[in-house]
Structure 1
Amino acid sequence: MKQNSLRATVRARLSGLHDAEARVAHVVLDQGAQLVHLSVSDVARLAGTSASTVVRSCRRLGFGGYQELKIAAAREAPPEPRDELDPLTATVRAAQEALGGLPATLSRTDLSSAAEALSGADRVLMAATGLSGAIAVDAAYRLRALGLPVDLPPDPLTAHLAAELLPQRSVCLAISHSGATRTTVETARRARAAGAKVVTITSYASSPLAEESTWVLLGGGQDLVFGMEAVASRLAHLTIVDTLSMILLGLGGGRSERAVSASAEVTADHSY
């Protein structure tokens, strides 16, 4: 496991843990590399729970047990205290950790399957709102520039209607940091009911949106201060979009080449 992977793995699965398990996860996040000096009983005491719950929590987080988690923790570089960092350094550090954690949370298998579904889709419906809406706009442009038929509804009502009317060989690409935005989840639910596949880009493994998804592409950032968690997660989500685009370019063959050429011509026409 690479540096920053432990924190990324824990944070991505945090929302799916029960109370005691979540307390164990927070101890893991707080202690970081210092876990190598703690026994399972020490972690249980800090989390206010039992040693058996600590072991179960480790398994829920994707590790074979506490020893495997400690090995992962030993590879983590101790983070600088957040209150000692200026805002620029803290934001850059959050971005670095978010991007560094992507290899640990993003499934290559799901990424490839999602790209294949997008490549063969008769229509791609974008679903996002708020800060994730900007990522959806970027994704829609990139997919269209690769020759894919993209629908980016201007409001949730239109998105819900579009989802209801999707042909079966369609894909809904849903983007949400929390995975709990009601309008985005409802668009995904309606698309799935219509027979479409749902590809989700999100920061948390367990969420209402993940439950409606065929594939979940997982990547996000840690919280800094109120509202700042979306800064790092947006960079991670844009990186996932770029990765999908690279895979789709290879899958699209002549269609993608023609579309990329047309995109370049249009861009040139609008340049001095």
Structure 2
Amino acid sequence: MTVSIRLQIKTMYNDFSIKEQAIADYILENSGKVGHSSISDLANELEIADSTFFQFTKKIGFNGFKDFKIAMLIQENDLSAISIHENIQKDDTELTMAQKVFDSNISTLTDTRKLLREEDLKQAGNIINSSKRLFLFGVGGSEIVATDAYHKFLRSPIPVFHSTDYHIQLMEVSLMTNEDCAIIISHTGRSKETICIAKFVKESGAKIIVVTSQASSPLAKLGDVVFLSLSEETEFRSEALASRIAQLSIIDSLYVIFRFFNQEKSEKSITKVRHVISGIKK
């Protein structure tokens, strides 16, 4: 696996059964022990069948327990490094706290970059490039990422639409056609409002690019292309804060890719924007 087992488990956690969540919790809490134990020892401790643990390792992307155990041993040092900045301690100085936040953000970007696939980036670029209009949707903290995307894509040749008001977002989605596309952002991928928007987009026939932290979330299942943002957190930061850094970077990547699909038109768009803005900076 290219991403840490710890983050893979966190990404899929909400879609595990109760028994699978118990296995996941054990691995997260005893990562050092798991890599040095047999499947029978782990199954006995969890009071489950060997086959149950074996099937869990397959569910998170491995060929079986042996493959999983090797990956655990390889990543053991990485997991130890993560724990250094995972929690802010009471006795930490302000500088140490800030450094841990930076370390967490760096880790978030590194882990998210490992999940990027060229075919997904190409497909997303082609979707935007072949669409007449681009719509951006997000609520709560994700709306901030959507607004940032709107600010960027305004400089591109494609007509772009975004509103901070959810009711207006619903009105916008009602006007979408199969010639349009949407980028929909949600940290959990489970927001009722966002899923409602995605279903309406799907009904219109428009393509959907999803940016989320949950691979098996309802929103991810509605996407034509899905980009995952993964993050380790410090104790006093919500998950959405760290994942936002990765989501912004994914949006930046899509913007740059689309611009290079349309270099001449993009340069004209940017020139027009710069010309207008320069008038108020003198």
* TM-score normalized by the length of structure 2: 0.86
Q: Distance in 1 between matches of 2:12 and 2:239?
A: 16
Aligned length: 271
The alignment's C-alpha RMSD in Å is 2.2
Q: Distance in 2 between matches of 1:47 and 1:224?
A: 28
- Equivalent residue for 1:71? 70
Report the Cα distance in structure 1 between the residues aligned to 2:42 and 2:272, rounded to whole angstroms. 58
Distance 2:33 2:275 in 1: 55
Distance 2:262 2:30 in 1: 46
**CA deviation after TM superposition for structure 1 residue 80, in Å:** 2.7
Q: 2-side partners of 1:182 and 1:244: how far apart?
A: 26
Q: Which residue of 2 aligns with 1:31?
A: 30
Q: State the match for 2:56 in structure 1.
A: 57
The two structures have a TM-score, normalised by structure 1, of 0.89
- Structure showing greater radius of gyration is 2
* Residues 1:35 and 1:114: Cα distance change in structure 2 (over 3 Å): same
After superposition, the Cα gap between the structure-2 partners of 1:62 and 1:268, relative to the gap in structure 1 and judged at 3 Å, is farther
Q: Report the equivalent of 1:115.
A: 125
Q: Which residue of 1 aligns with 2:186?
A: 176
Report the secondary structure of 2:108's partner residue: helix
Change (3 A) 1:265 1:10: farther
Distance 1:84 1:177, change over 3 A: closer
Change over 3 Å in CA distance of 1:166–1:71 after alignment to 2: same
TM-superposition CA deviations, 1:40-77 (whole Å, max 9, x none):
23333454432211111111111111222222222322
Identify the residue that residue 211 of structure 2 maps to in structure 1: 201
How big is each residue's C-alpha offset from its partner over 1:197-248, in whole Å with a ceiling of 9 and x where there is no partner? 1111000011121122211111121344476111210011111111112211
Choose 96-105 or 45-54, whichever is displaced more. Answer: 45-54
Structure 1 residues without counterparts, runs of 5 or longer: none
Match of 1:80 among 68, 80, 83: 83
Provide the C-alpha distance between the structure 1 equivalents of 2:31 and 2:249, rounded to a whole number of angstroms: 25
Structure 1 residue identity aligned to 2:167: L
Secondary structure, aligned partner of 1:75: helix
Instruction: Work out the CA distance in 2 between the residues paired with 1:92 and 1:41.
Output: 40
> Which of 244, 258, 264 lines up with 2:274 in the alignment?
264
% identical aligned pairs: 25
Cα distance in 2 between the residues matched to 1:222 and 1:173? 24
Unaligned runs of 5+ in 2: none
Q: CA deviation at 1:173?
A: 0.9
